[in-house]
Structure 1
Amino acid sequence: MVHLHWWVEKVGETGILPADNTKLGILERHYVINEIKTKKLGDRLDRITAPHVFMSLRLQPTFGLRQEGCIKFQPHYADHGDQISINGSWAKGGRNRMGSITTPAACGAG
């Protein structure tokens, strides 16, 4: 709609579109903030037999990674003892990151 409003302004026909989009049947946007979008697998995680998929899914809550980052995760690159290194090509925003391993779960004991 922004493009249409811009165009009608440029051609001098601002009256053909109402200023309020709701008059065109377009509802106002409602932004949801502070909504937790994580899904708990619970005991279903134990039914996964592929070891790489299993570990990938365990990475998500343990290190707060996104699904794509977990799929692309390479332990030989990321493991630095008490820290993990996240390659920018795995992460949102394309930035390299370092994360401290601070919990037993992150050490593989959880």
Structure 2
Amino acid sequence: MRVKFASERNAMNTTDLAEKIAAANGSTKADAKKAVELVFAAIADAAAAGEEVNLPGFGKFKVKESAAREGRNPSTGETIQIAASRKLGFTQAKALKDKLNG
């Protein structure tokens, strides 16, 4: 089985992002990767605290609450309880939407 690299699967991972930042900034890949990981950690920490993260020109990360509810097991049809949960949502900014559709 052949492993596909990010450029072949049309996806960017943390390493790819760090390499791009390092090349644009003239920094080392290690420093850029650390910066990327710190940004993601800060967003995750803010979300865990219930805070909204607003990045002008990019978008907003916002925690959404899902109430507990009843559902059905699709294989048996049995009624099950689905616990309340929190999810992280993303809403793109107009500038990003325009860039994607422009």
* Higher-Rg member (1/2): 1
| Higher relative contact order (CA closer than 8 Å, sequence separation 6+) | 2
Q: Same fold (TM over 0.5)?
A: no
TM-score, normalised via structure 2 length: 0.19
Q: TM-score, normalised by structure 1?
A: 0.19
